[in-house]
Structure 1
Amino acid sequence: MELQTLKSEDLSKRGQRRIRRGLFEAFLDACKTQGPKTKIVTDGDGRVFTYADLRQAAFALSAPLRKMTEPDETVGILLPTGAGAVIALLSVHAAGRTPAMLNFSAGIKNLKAASATAPLKTVITARKFIDIAGLASLMVELSEVVNIVYLEDMREAIGVSGKIRAVMGPIFPALFVPRPDPDDTAIVLFTSGTEGNPKGVVLTHANILANIEQIEEHVQLQKGDIFFNPLPTFHCYGLTAGTLWPIFSGFHVVLHPSPLQTKTIAKRIFKTRSTVLFATDTFLQQYMRASADGGLSSLRIAVCGAERVREETRKTAEQRFSFEVLEGYGVTECAPVLAANQPGDIRAGTIGKMLPGIETRLEPVEGLEDAGRLWVRGAEHYERLYFARSARQSCSLTRRLARYR
């Protein structure tokens, strides 16, 4: 097989410009563009947050965070998907620190390994979450290696400096907001640890913002679309596509703390009139089974990743609820989306076209026919080069891409 080099469509000039920012700057720009009073997040308990609410909380909490951590320190966030996780992430950036998203379901061994890998001195969580999730004993063990800080205590410690930052930060951001280089580390994520200890994945501001721009130019949205995201923010799909994309682009997002609450999620999708759902094939099947006919009829599209979408899933979605199921592929190291189907352009068994700005190179692998090792490079070279980790993975992905072409 001959070496193949492919390049998808370039990002628009607007998209290229928007990449060269820090994440917190991108959030402030969205707040200014959409309007501070715009309602942007609905939390798991139904509370609605405006851009101003998120901005004020982030600036205020950055004050005690600056006192309890060191400049450029990596700070762990151990929270479920929700407004609390968004505020914690933004406050860490507002304080000039780097967030590391921790998988609270990974077990104490993997959490300690992740803490050592980052490395972490401080982990932010919430007492309410720990109580509901029954993680008190895990926190006791984790506190042996890191300092556990609770959002409830941070609110009590805001003080005068925090109030000043909350009021003056939005007015004079240049005086209060760090200006990181777009190629500086923005977020640290961790792989599942199925092949040993979790591996740290370092993503820059440009990595994440490039992927958001790529997704937005690839999947056409409609004015008034409402996102529903039950996927964890410690996973790059739930973080970049399911949380940061809508917030930075001005689309209201309904956040849910766990993808496992199938009946509750089906009811919330109906109640909130959500139009874009993030899920996996398995979870989407469960949500559809838990919903009465027409119960998910507000949905326009469901975007599925992490596993192959079965044809029966698409048929059920179309016949019972009249929405399309898009399948995408990505890896954490690529921030994460590489390719995805598009509304009105879906072919069974494929993962669609590469996102704008993605370069690919397919190299032969001895012993494999009509397949190869796939290399990718992201928009304007800001995403890290990714090497398919096994011949099986490379072969599977390559064949599915080839069928689409």
Structure 2
Amino acid sequence: MTNEIVENELYLEHTAKKLKLAIVSFPMRPGFADYMVGLCKGLSSHFELQLYISHSYEASYEQYFPASTFAFGRTRHLALDYPRFVLAVLKNKPDICLFQAWIKLPLLDAMIIRFLRTLGYRCFVTVHDAAPHEQKWWHSVTIPIFFKSFDGGICHSNKAIDVLRKLGVRTPLTKIPHGVLDHYQKSSINKEQISLPPIANDPLAFVILFFGHVTRRKGIIHLVAALKLIASDHPVKLIVAGKFALSQRDLSVIERMADERVILINKLISFAEVRPLFDLSHCVVLPYLEGTTSGVLKLAMAFSKPIVSTPIGDVEEVLNSNQYIAIPEYKGSDAEFEAGIASAILAAKERHIEMKQHMEALRADYSWENAGSAYANFLASPRRKRSK
């Protein structure tokens, strides 16, 4: 521990008693809610937690969260919730505020964050996405302003840090890997909450899982097309599970290409349905065209499922060739990309037992205890100068 840290008043206070940490997250859909479960687990031993969140998450998550200090309403209530949120912070006086994303309007959020900082509150942000996936022309202005408003930022990958630096963000940033989402493994399953279509358990089939919000940028069309390149003497089955956010044209293309080997589950997957889907699968496929981090990767790690993926986000920083098969990056040719996906799936089919063992050994390195300690060191350490 350096003299600089020892002499810092905030750090000394932190070592003497728990500081109050406000975690702010308006988005609480699956993914954000999963991260919040692990984050609360990792930080609860270091801080006195205050939650400023919406209650839009499934009831099954409730058991993992402490009582919320402030509850956001629906989006249509945000005009009232913004001032209510600020007043709640001023009333409860947290030592540090940790935002999980912009609440709704990055520019307005930036103004609120800067206001809180003028009053002495230290404000940080967890960077789940360095930029919105569906970008508008104004995001090139508002998103950098939002991230520049903080005392510091926590990224899950070096790629995310690089993206922010290219946007001109000079805020102090640190890399803290996304923890493994292992609460699904440890939870009991309520079978009454499972409404999945019947999936035949074929002992000869190699089952691959595409899981989560289904969008074009995640390469779903290329994945279904790639399956048609795999000969029938290779028994491969694909489960696509998650709410489809596709145009009617894209959906029609997928449904037309999908044969009996493809199972499409177009619905929001409930908490109770996650584990059965991963238990049925031999590996998880992420043929993403772009992305900065993947919560699905951390789910696969929790279930020790090998990965077939493009080199997006933190994949190459977390996994090596013993744990994942690389799909060559998309470079404009559909045929080449789809052939690469098919080849990677077949390679995983041959190696998945060996890869699963390597995935099991990886989990301890990405525990929430490790992440929580890294968060605590960054949030409570001395104020850092912005990079030039």
Max radius of gyration: which structure? 2
Say yes or no: TM over 0.5.
no
Q: What TM-score does the superposition give when structure 2 sets the normalisation length? A: 0.29
